[in-house]
Amino acid sequence: MQVKEGQVYEVKPSCGRCKKNPLACSYLDVPGTSSDLDTGATSSTSSQVSDFRIGRFSRETSKSPRVSIPELHQEISTPLFGVKELELLHFYTGTTCFTVSTIPERHLLWQQVVPRIAFTHHFLLHGIMAFSAMHLARLQPDRVASLHAEASMHHDIGLRMFQSTMLDLSPQNCDACFAYSSIIVVYTWASSDQTADLFFSDKAITGERLTVGWSSLLRGVQTLLNTAGEWIARGSLGVMLYSFAMDRELAKQISPDVTSKLSSLSSLWTASSARFSEVEVAAFNETLGLLHEGYGLVISSSSEWLVDLISIALGWPIRVPEAFLAMVTALVPEALVVLAHYSLLLNPVDHIWYMHGMRRHLLQTIHCRVGARWEHWILWLL
């Protein structure tokens, strides 16, 4: 402080070395004196703070102590996300990520590794937020309309970006594509609103032919694995490709009645082989084999030897032959009876929020469709 003519003034301090020698202290020449504050420098600085939004803030702007408002707006790129998106991402990392797998060791991948990948591949980030919005809507029914709108918007944007990226699949983006393809499967189930609409619609009940529209999305998962499986296996998500070994003998010992009933389904197409082409018979046999495999894994799972029950349940529709889905689309009774047994894989995951009620609705839909002639094949499942 200095006293001059009875007035007390504050002055900037000088360094001790300059006072001692004495020298003109360069510290006193730094811009930003009290006169600067009077001329509006404070309002310029506050504009930078109030105008800051989520986005990239340029290194040059952050260094400059005084930037006019027009210049500041030019330096800030268009923000990618806002408060709503932050809420969805927060909810995903705190809650939703734990519902993608039943294996605790994989929760960390979905909670930390996948979001980190998403920060450089924004289609995955959109997919995460679409899925999170659907989950949050399930828990906050008063916000269903707005959250479903958010989910649909992020899903549409992410899907377009993902489809474009898939045209140039590489080791650099394959992990992001694999994570997104997995999320889009669970999002599809979540957005079906706990109905069997993944396989049917009201038109299907009346007997009209339909295209299983979601199947093209699901088939993309298998296409991705066929193309980039080796790249993914060597990456940070490679553990997700771990295939569980099924002990068929153990499955027979645990549940001989069920395995016997599954085996008996083959008589549906062998007894009337003239109705089906070789391709269709092969599709039936492969589909039945996948049911045996999936059920064996489900009942073999224990605390000592865990299998990912969600992966098994969601993986079955992805792996079944295209010819089998075509017969489901055509409402072929034998195919519908086989599809009803898919409920054996859905039952253990019925508590998962996006799969709850799917088993019951699927069985009821098929039961209404096949009629009395075929119902004895599926009554034990109801």
**177, 227 contact by CB (below 8 A):** no
| Complete DSSP assignment for 19-43 | HHTT---GGGGSS--HHHHHTTHHH
pLDDT for the residue numbered 22? 56
Q: Confidence class of residue 293 from pLDDT cuts 50, 70 and 90?
A: confident
Least confident of 41-50, 154-163, 186-195, 342-351: 41-50
Give the residue, 229 or 3, on which the prediction is more confident: 229
Listed by start position, the domains of the chain span 84-202+209-218, 243-381
Question: Which of 64, 67, 19 has its CA nearest to residue 40?
Answer: 67
Q: Kindly tell me the burial class for residue 199, based on how many C-beta atoms sit within 10 Å of its own C-beta (0-12, 13-18, 19 or more).
A: buried
User: Reduced to 3 states, what is the DSSP secondary structure of residue 8?
Assistant: strand
Q: Confidence class of residue 84 from pLDDT cuts 50, 70 and 90?
A: very high
pLDDT for the residue numbered 324? 93
| Complete DSSP assignment for 266-287 | THHHHTTGGGS-HHHHHHHHHH
**145, 196 contact by CB (below 8 A):** no
Name every residue whose Cβ is closer than 8 Å to that of residue 56 and which is 6 or more positions away in sequence. 76, 77
Tens digits of residue pLDDT in 131-146: 999 999 999 999 999 9
pLDDT for the residue numbered 192? 80
pLDDT for the residue numbered 237? 92
pLDDT average, residue stretch 362-370: 90
pLDDT average, residue stretch 9-25: 54
pLDDT for the residue numbered 174? 95
pLDDT for the residue numbered 197? 65
The chain-wide mean pLDDT, for the chain, equals: 78
Q: Is the pLDDT confidence value at 129 over 50?
A: yes
Q: Highest-confidence range of 62-71, 119-128, 307-316, by mean pLDDT?
A: 119-128
How many whole angstroms separate alpha carbon 155 and alpha carbon 321?
27
Amino acid letter for position 248: R
Q: Confidence class of residue 185 from pLDDT cuts 50, 70 and 90?
A: confident
How many whole angstroms separate alpha carbon 16 and alpha carbon 12?
13
In this structure, the number of other CB atoms found within 10 A of the CB of residue 75 comes to 16
Angle (nearest 5°) at CA 139 between 135 and 140: 110
What DSSP state is assigned to residue 202? H
Amino acid letter for position 95: T
pLDDT for the residue numbered 191? 86
User: Reduced to 3 states, what is the DSSP secondary structure of residue 9?
Assistant: strand
pLDDT for the residue numbered 123? 96
How many whole angstroms separate alpha carbon 200 and alpha carbon 196?
6
How many whole angstroms separate alpha carbon 346 and alpha carbon 196?
12
Tens digits of residue pLDDT in 20-77: 555 555 444 444 444 343 444 444 434 433 332 323 333 333 444 444 444 433 333 3
pLDDT for the residue numbered 284? 97
Q: Given the structure tokens 């000592």, which residue do they identify?
A: 304
Q: At 250, which helix (H) or strand (E)?
A: helix 248-254
pTM assigned to the model: 0.73
How many whole angstroms separate alpha carbon 80 and alpha carbon 233?
31
pLDDT average, residue stretch 231-250: 76
How many whole angstroms separate alpha carbon 345 and alpha carbon 350?
9
How many whole angstroms separate alpha carbon 40 and alpha carbon 218?
59
φ and ψ of 91, to 5 deg: -65, -35
How many whole angstroms separate alpha carbon 57 and alpha carbon 280?
59
How many whole angstroms separate alpha carbon 285 and alpha carbon 269?
9
